[in-house]
Structure 1
Amino acid sequence: MKIKICGLSREEDIDAVNTVLPDYVGFVFVPGSTRYVNYEHAQELKGKLSKKISAVGVFADEEPEMIECMARDGIIDLIQLHGDEGVNDVETLKRVCGIPIIKAISMNSYKHRESIRKFEESSVDYLLLDSAKGGSGQMFDHRCISNIKKPFFLAGGLTSENVGEILKDVPIVPYAVDMSSGVETNGRKDKEKICKAVRRMRDVER
């Protein structure tokens, strides 16, 4: 199972993930987010990131030209869409960027089944199942995960303490787990929590 640590914004965060090598990290390009980074800062962070870790750019209703620029310049290796993007937006980004795309689905929405069905029929590579607001630390009812054919990232309230038990109750094994607030202290990434979470996941895999 893959591991993603999302919302990195400081050099200390990069040092932490380089120590334990999760499969993915996320840079949040959503203005207003407490984890927001701009192009220049993300470029600096990516330059210090281990080549063994793939960087995911998190966007919400961003202009395709900006996303294309970050993909072209090698700042991001995957695209994660957290806004109201539709299937046509996905197809456009897929065509112009040529890198994998993750589409976030709010599992607290009464339309979550419709959204999953719609994007499973698109060229999206992965789904990301989260609560209504990504990065909030809120969990959703995992019993509503069913009949999902595409590989998916499981997010929403995951921590090093609960991830093992939660995975036992998820009806379908996720492709990856995604942690953000669960590896923070006072709104900042916590190296000890990151290391503990990644090592705990490696133990779960064994």
Structure 2
Amino acid sequence: MNTRVKICGLTRVEDVKAAVAKGADALGFVFYEPSPRAVTIEQAKVLAGHVPAFVSVVGLFVNPSEEQVREALDRIPLDLLQFHGDETPEFCSRFGRRWIKAVRVQQAGQIEKALSDYHGASGLLVDAWDPERFGGTGHSFNWDLIPSERSLPLILAGGLSSANVARAVEKVKPWAVDVSGGVEKSKGIKDIEKISDFIKEAHRV
């Protein structure tokens, strides 16, 4: 079974179309203003309008207010919510929508605890820890910290590119991989060839 691929941090219609054409399973839109890949609700609405059936539209939030999430849900056809901050399980589950929780991995046992704490999620995304940024760091982390037994589908992120994603899939055996900076020309501007190469490598294993 092919590992699923999410392309995150999309800001342009042409990049949405390219990701879809190259076979992405999910597209992520960032609703976190400090991020260089952030989009407004109006921008995301336009971008989501170019996503066809059977490709998931994911809204990424970092410590949002309930009102912010509900406004996005009211105006954009989001299939999945991604919480990338310090949100509680209770907060994540209050919107009546499938959701995944991101964990910025620092130490052993952290992923196991998150799998237990966020057991209501549709998946757990594991990413590199950075003291100043919530994801999109461009750094990987020690994959040996990822347990082989998992109670939720595991999504691997953090420093992935076409150069290492095949090795990551082979070693970690994730349900899906998530990439942003690894397929960019510059922050928020995707590179079609990098997207194509990344998806080919992810599926090669």
Q: Structure 1: which 4+ aligned runs deviate by more than 6 Å? A: none
| Equivalent residue in structure 2 for 1:100, among 98, 101, 107 | 98
**1:26: how far off?**
0.3
Structure 2 CA distance, aligned partners of 1:109 and 1:7?
26
Aligned ranges 1:85-164 → 2 under 5 Å: 85-93=87-95, 98-109=96-107, 112=110, 113-120=112-119, 123-132=120-129, 133-146=134-147, 147-164=149-166
How far apart, CA to CA, are the structure 1 residues paired with 2:145 and 2:87?
23
* Aligned residue pair count: 196
- 3-state SS of the aligned residue for 1:195? helix
Counterparts of residues 1-206 of structure 1 (less than 5 Å): 1-93=3-95, 98-109=96-107, 112=110, 113-120=112-119, 123-132=120-129, 133-146=134-147, 147-170=149-172, 173-187=173-187, 188-204=189-205
Alpha-carbon deviations, 1:143-162, whole Å to 9, x = none? 01114211111001111121
Rounded to whole Å, the distance in 2 between the matches of 1:83 and 1:5 is 19
Tell me the alpha carbon deviations over residues 15-44 of structure 1, each in whole angstroms, 9 at most, x when there is no partner: 211211311010000011000000000000
Distance (whole Å) between structure 2 residues aligned to residue 83 and residue 7 of structure 1:
16
- Does the Cα contact within 8 Å between 2:162 and 2:197 map onto a contact in 1? yes
Report if the CA contact (8 A) 1:79-1:101 is conserved. Answer: yes
Distance in 2, Cα, partners of 1:150 & 1:78: 15
Q: 1 or 2, which has the higher helix percentage?
A: 1
Of all paired residues, the percent bearing the same amino acid is 35
- State the secondary structure of the residue aligned to 2:78: coil
* 1:58-81 deviation per Cα after TM superposition (whole angstroms, max 9, x unaligned): 001112222123223343110000
- Structure 2 Cα separation of the partners of residues 25 and 155 of structure 1: 14
8 Å CA contact retained: 2:41, 2:76: no
Runs of 5+ in structure 2 lacking a partner? Answer: none
Alignment TM-score, normalising by the size of structure 1:
0.88
Q: Equivalents in 2 of 1:51, 1:91: separation in Å?
A: 25
Structure 1 residue 110: Cα displacement = 6.4
Which amino acid letter does the alignment assign opposite residue 73 of structure 2?
A: A
> TM-score, normalized by length of structure 2?
0.89
Contact 1:21 1:52 in 2 (8 A): no
**Shift of the alpha carbon at 1:201?**
2.1
Q: 2:169·2:202 contact (CA, 8 Å) conserved in 1?
A: no
Which sections of structure 1, spanning at least 5 residues, go unmatched?
none
Give the Cα separation in 1 of the matches to 2:192 and 2:76: 25
Distance 1:159 1:102, change over 3 A: same
Q: Secondary structure at the match of 2:118?
A: helix
